[in-house]
Amino acid sequence: MRMNLILPKFFTLIVLAFCFGFPLQAANLPDFTVLAEDNAASVVNISTKHNSARQQLRQFNIPEFNDIPEGGPLGDLMRRFFGEHGLPMPEEGPEKRSLGSGFILSEDGYILTNYHVVDGADQIIVRMNDRREFIAEVIGKDERSDIALIKIEAQGLPAVKVGDSKDLKVGEWVLAIGSPFGFDHSVTAGIVSAKGRNLPSENYVPFIQTDVAINPGNSGGPLFNLDGEVVGINSQIYSRSGGFMGLSFAIPIEMAMDVTNQLKARGRVSRGWLGVLIQDMNTDLAESFGLDRPRGALVARVLPNSPSEKAGLQVGDVILEFNGEKIHTSSELPPLVGRSNIDEPAKVKILRNGKERVVKVNIGELPPEDAVELAGTHPPKVSENRLGMMVSELNEQMRKKYSLSSRRGVVVESVTGQAAREAGIQQGDIILSMNNVEVQDVRHFNHLVSELPTDKTVALLVHRNTGPIFLALRVPE
């Protein structure tokens, strides 16, 4: 009987604790009201006028801005505010307007925003939280980092507090203020999803990835931590529909401030340069180069007259460390090099032929155009080898067209076997080396193939229209 009386009381206590636990848990969630109130006046709306509608194509930095669902609320909203092609609806007359965001850096009128927000603008209009409007001038802008510094003639403006994104942790709460779709001073919140993200079009920016709702018009707006400090600049989203899908990317504030200081000082940005084309390592490539796991940046090409060539770096070297910083993935290297001091030596730890060594490279300045253009032709076919591909000679004319200087190699005419197909070999690839041995011609290539060990992974360096790349190929029996 006594036990029967105790059990109901016990379960009653559990139910009460369960019911009253929710308000206690909710009370522990962050309160963004004070943060939003304190910083709203520091965030501005930016409108730009263009004489050419074609220039507006650059205004929204979204990798995929198409395939808006027909008949849905998002599609209706997008077409209402941005037209059928994702662009701002044109006004009457030759001038067009677009919207972005920015934030005040100093009380004397310096404002930070994105390069793509103001690029090509004939006039930049800054609207404050109190509805005042100013015409801004561009102090400087940098396309590679997507940063622009503008200024308005005003004094006593409320400036943001600049923080440091290095202190951010994955899972930490962050808040954004901006003008999505032109709705001024909209506040959205979320968490840090990842740090150090490198996007295909942005090699020099280690982005902060968040799940904060960011949409067209938020570009250039600040990303705050819970202390009210700006830790990033909202720059890009990944979307298949044009709307927010949970993937937002912000430029770290310390990188933005470094760019800002250079723009203030001389109107342009200088970056360090190694002069190599690199790629990431996968498990098969790591095995072929003697690594215990995929790590480092694999050198696929050393550009002529570059700092790396002068220092003796070679194709096939694996860069493991740069000035003491370990390189886990290839995307970590460009930002480190870009922030390096020009004309100063850097210690680069590499793996070459299975042995680690340190090479000193005198860092150069990144040139305006560092891309290498490649093309392809189709020479006469030759017989197939045991790797499952048909190759032909690379003549002098093709070598010049591929910008391969004096390098030799063979051209892949077709892929017929499983080994080559699984390795990712494509028709038109130029095979330059095999296991760090430079391929001289077709006869030499077939000789190298005949001596390959069975059921081992070998590294092939190939050139294709996207650039040089190493492929791991497992030799069949």
Write the DSSP string, 113-158. Answer: E-HHHHTT-SEEEEE-TTS-EEEEEEEEEETTTTEEEEE-S-SS--
What does the mean pLDDT of the chain come to?
Answer: 81
Report for 27-31, 65-69, 97-101, 111-115: range of highest mean pLDDT: 111-115
Q: What is the pLDDT of residue 92?
A: 47
Please give the class, per CATH, of domain 272-365. mainly beta
* Residue 357, helix vs strand vs coil: strand
Which one of the listed residues 142, 146, 184, 284 is annotated catalytic?
Answer: 146
Mean pLDDT check: name the lowest of 226-235, 311-320, 366-375, 442-451: 366-375
Q: Over range 406-414, report the average pLDDT.
A: 78
Is residue 397's pLDDT more than 80?
A: no
Query: Which residues belong to CATH 2.40.10.120 in the chain?
Result: 33-266
Our answer to whether residue 405 is catalytic in this structure is: no
The whole-angstrom separation of Cα 143 and Cα 117 is 11
Q: What is the pTM of this model?
A: 0.65
Residue of 318, 327, 321 whose CA lies nearest to 288: 318
Our answer to whether residue 447 is catalytic in this structure is: no
Which one of the listed residues 101, 179, 219, 433 is annotated catalytic?
Answer: 219
Q: What is the pLDDT of residue 26?
A: 52
Distance, CA of 243 to chain centre: 20
Q: What is the pLDDT of residue 72?
A: 46
Mean pLDDT check: name the lowest of 4-8, 133-137, 185-189, 420-424: 4-8
pLDDT band at 475 (very low <50, low <70, confident <90, very high): confident
Is 431 exposed, middle or buried (CB count within 10 Å of its CB: 0-12, 13-18, 19+)?
Answer: buried
Q: Over range 115-123, report the average pLDDT.
A: 91
Our answer to whether residue 219 is catalytic in this structure is: yes
Quote the Cα angle for 48-235-195, to 5°. Answer: 170
CATH number 3.30.420.40 given to 389-474: no
User: β-strand 229-237 against 161-162: which pairing, if any?
Assistant: parallel
Contact 212, 201 (CB under 8 A): no
Mean pLDDT check: name the lowest of 111-115, 131-135, 207-211, 425-429: 425-429
Is residue 107's pLDDT more than 90?
A: yes
Is residue 80's pLDDT more than 70?
A: no
Q: Greater confidence, 399 or 220?
A: 220
Which one of the listed residues 116, 235, 429, 433 is annotated catalytic?
Answer: 116
Q: State which fold the 33-266 domain adopts.
A: Thrombin, subunit H (2.40.10)
Q: Over range 198-213, report the average pLDDT.
A: 83
Query: Which residues belong to CATH 2.30.42.10 in the chain?
Result: 272-365, 389-474
